[in-house]
Chains A and B, each alone.
Chain A
Amino acid sequence: MKPLITAQGLSVHYALRGGLIGPAPFVRAVENVTIEVAPGSFFGLVGESGSGKTTLGRAMLRAAPISKGDVMFDDGEVEYSLKNLGKKDLKDYRKRAQLIFQDPYAALSPRMTVRDIIAEPLEVMGLTKSRAETDDRVREIAAKCRLNVEHLRRFPHAFSGGQRQRISIARALVSGPKFIVADESVAALDVSIQADVLNLLKAIQEEMGLTFLFISHDLSVVAHVCDHVAVMYLGRLVETAPTRTLFSAPRHPYTKALLSAIPSLDPDDRGKAQKLEGEIPSPTNPPPGCKFQTRCPHAIDHCRMEEPILEAAGTEHNVACHKWQELSHRS
């Protein structure tokens, strides 16, 4: 199947201030990332803060500058190369690719009714011709997100976190997108509500045939909702695999450490976790060679000199580590 969206050697660099002599310094927020997201998939993107997952998500929406490489979008109706997108095509792309934010308290205007919030994309993009048509469309999408007509008249402050996130979802869906980036969309919610929003996202995805890029730092959530996962570290992709493979046979030492750091629900598991020393380095001053070498328990001289490239470790399973084969024999 042809991928819906493909990042091809994508890099996002941000210029830094300073540098009177020589070229201006820059931060490599995302460096040479290649991923393919199949239509209808729920693609997870995980990593610690500062790993570049949000920047990658934004670049795929053309909301971050593409410095090198490209992002290709092909939904069967249109084909876009995001790097060279004209104004008119960009407007059309906005309709097809949408974003759900993390904080439902900050993402909704307190001065607009829920109806106006959900209707705004339709009006801005000129997708409906009359007010009646807009209202119909808003009601239809709101119902999918379990919001009734009464809810539409109210203002966001009257809603709880879970309800607000459902309003955000409705707003993202109203323009009829094919691709949705959900950036930490359940991170701000309580556990009892989080499960409800995740189930809703899954149901909507299946019903409307959407493709999700699900950005999260929470691996247990990703394990439950995603079918494919990519792990990032310091702007690089370190491992990608189908969810089941990634969680049953992780190959990259960073993925293993991330999985091991999740606090277990079993009180008798104490102290069993494999601990990772140190912290993620600053992207303004990345270490040479493999970016993970400063924290990796298996690093050798080779890792400090040469950056590993992504190589196949199984069906649809790629890993960027010099020592993955040796390590997989050991465990």
Chain B
Amino acid sequence: MSRLIDVENLTLQFDTDEGRITAVDNVSFSLEAGEVMGLVGESGSGKSVTAKSLMKLNPRNAIYGPDTNITLYLDDGPVDVMSLQTDHDMKIVRGGSISLIFQEPMASFAPAISIGDQMVEQLLIHTSFSPTQAKELSIEMLDRVGISDAKTRFGQYAFELSGGMRQRAMIAMALSTKPRLLIADEPTTALDVTIQAQVIDLMKDIVSEFGMGIIFITHDLGVIAQTADTVAVMYLGRLVEHGSVRDVIRRPAHPYTRGLLAALPTLDDIDAPLTPIPGDIPSPLERPSGCVYNTRCQEILGPRCAREVPAFSNVSADHTAACHLHDPERGSL
């Protein structure tokens, strides 16, 4: 496998009327080609904002930290995403080597333009295809993602398609430019379970066929277990745990990951009581000092948790967690 993207010290703040909000705080990770990374966290954890930062797709009031470094490795050599300034420069990344699938496909297709015209439009912008070639490729992609009668669907509008169909069309559109990295932001959340299972299958086929990297954003750990190779868990803008899907789900190392797993109702033992994580997710205006999770943590070690931001320590090979529990020098609490 070859390295696809390196994200180092990604920090992102927003200037709002109520003050400066830290949405992403010093997040670093890497992704290999062909790897599916699950990005998990609750609402407000900064997972969508993190993913959108990879194509600098955040609103104008966004302020990137000075140490932020995002490097995308393409066939023509590495691209420093942070140095791209104009929209024209960003074309290499936006819709070119990185594609994005949104949660709500109804809101992401223009309602008054046919599905086909939207697919062709982006191909004409990002590739050197002629309109005829672009149309042929679009129909082929619609067919590939399991849309029956692709020729007819090509001329239809978003409202004429069911939710599952729309999401398939969205995937077809995102893949037609052959991106190196696909960001899927809650792609199955708005779908029924039976349709979700179909879309998950489709995405797995796509990875094995195209060999692209996928960042799969979701709050559903079950979906992660079924799709991802590696998992990154976020809480209040910080990465708290990162490792292989088996390690993180079977041997969660961070108290937050443990809490999330315990709060999840499972069918294995329907009599088991549900264990919520106490308290609420703090407002981003009142970020706790020290470890961001210390206000809700059930395994809190002492005043150090509220004072000192925990560094990442290795729990095992390729499995890291940012918690004082795993600090090799935890004697000094």
Q: Which residue of chain B has its CB nearest to the CB of A202?
A: B274
Tell yes or no: B317 within 8 A of A by CB. Answer: no
Tell yes or no: B280 within 8 A of A by CB. Answer: yes
Interface hits, B252-268 → A, CB 8 Å: 259-261, 263-267
Q: Which one of A55-63, A167-175, A259-267, A301-309 is at the interface?
A: A259-267
Tell yes or no: A194 within 8 A of B by CB. Answer: yes
Given contacts A263-B196, A263-B223, A263-B225, contact A192 B259 (CB under 8 A): yes
Q: Is the CB of B274 within 8 A of A247?
A: no
Chain A interface size range: 35 or more
Docked Cα-Cα span, A116 to B193, in Å, equals 38
Interface hits, A271-305 → B, CB 8 Å: 273, 275-277, 279-280
Q: Which one of B4-12, B64-72, B96-104, B197-205 is at the interface?
A: B197-205
Q: Which one of A13-21, A22-30, A92-100, A217-225 is at the interface?
A: A217-225
Tell yes or no: B245 within 8 A of A by CB. Answer: yes
Q: Is the CB of A224 within 8 A of B198?
A: no
Q: Is the CB of B223 within 8 A of A195?
A: no
Tell yes or no: B162 within 8 A of A by CB. Answer: yes
User: A residues within 8 A CB of B27?
Assistant: none
Tell yes or no: B195 within 8 A of A by CB. Answer: yes
Q: Which residue of chain A has its CB nearest to the CB of B282?
A: A160
Return B217 CB to nearest CB of chain A, in Å.
Answer: 14
From A49, A199, A219, A263, contact of B226 by CB (8 A):
A263
Q: Is the CB of B197 within 8 A of A191?
A: no
Return B190 CB to nearest CB of chain A, in Å.
Answer: 9
Q: Which residue of chain B has its CB nearest to the CB of A260?
A: B197
Docked Cα-Cα span, A261 to B43, in Å, equals 24
Tell yes or no: B277 within 8 A of A by CB. Answer: yes
Given contacts A190-B219, A192-B263, contact A279 B196 (CB under 8 A): no
Tell yes or no: B126 within 8 A of A by CB. Answer: no
Task: Give A137-178 as 1s and 0s: 1 = Cβ < 8 Å from B's Cβ atoms.
Answer: 000000000000000000000001111000000000000000
Tell yes or no: B1 within 8 A of A by CB. Answer: no
Q: Is the CB of B164 within 8 A of A262?
A: no
Task: Give B216-241 as 1s and 0s: 1 = Cβ < 8 Å from A's Cβ atoms.
Answer: 00011111011000000000000000
Q: Number of B residues whose C-beta is below 8 Å from A?
A: 44
Tell yes or no: A329 within 8 A of B by CB. Answer: no
Tell yes or no: A270 within 8 A of B by CB. Answer: yes
Docked Cα-Cα span, A243 to B270, in Å, equals 9
User: B residues within 8 A CB of A77?
Assistant: none
Tell yes or no: A112 within 8 A of B by CB. Answer: no
Task: Give B275-287 as 1s and 0s: 1 = Cβ < 8 Å from A's Cβ atoms.
Answer: 1111011000000
User: A residues within 8 A CB of B43?
Assistant: 161, 190
Given contacts A191-B264, A220-B265, contact A267 B249 (CB under 8 A): yes
Q: Is the CB of A269 within 8 A of B226?
A: yes
User: A residues within 8 A CB of B219?
Assistant: 190-191
Q: Is the CB of A273 within 8 A of B265?
A: no
User: B residues within 8 A CB of A199?
Assistant: 273-274, 276
Return B202 CB to nearest CB of chain A, in Å.
Answer: 11
Q: Which residue of chain B has its CB nearest to the CB of A224?
A: B265
Q: Is the CB of B192 within 8 A of A48?
A: yes
Q: Is the CB of A195 within 8 A of B275?
A: yes
Report 9 cross-chain contacts, Cβ distance below 8 Å, ordered by A residue: A48-B195, A49-B192, A190-B281, A192-B281, A193-B276, A263-B220, A267-B225, A267-B245, A279-B164
Apart from A191-B264, A220-B264, A263-B197, list 16 A-B contacts with CB within 8 A: A161-B43, A163-B280, A192-B42, A192-B263, A199-B274, A217-B192, A220-B266, A221-B265, A223-B270, A244-B270, A258-B194, A265-B266, A267-B225, A275-B198, A279-B164, A280-B192
Q: Which residues of A contact B (CB under 8 A)?
A: 48-49, 160-163, 190-196, 198-199, 217-221, 223-224, 243-244, 247, 257-259, 261-270, 273, 275-277, 279-280
Q: Which residues of B contact A (CB under 8 A)?
A: 42-43, 162-165, 192-198, 200-201, 204, 219-223, 225-226, 245-246, 249, 259-261, 263-267, 270, 272-278, 280-281
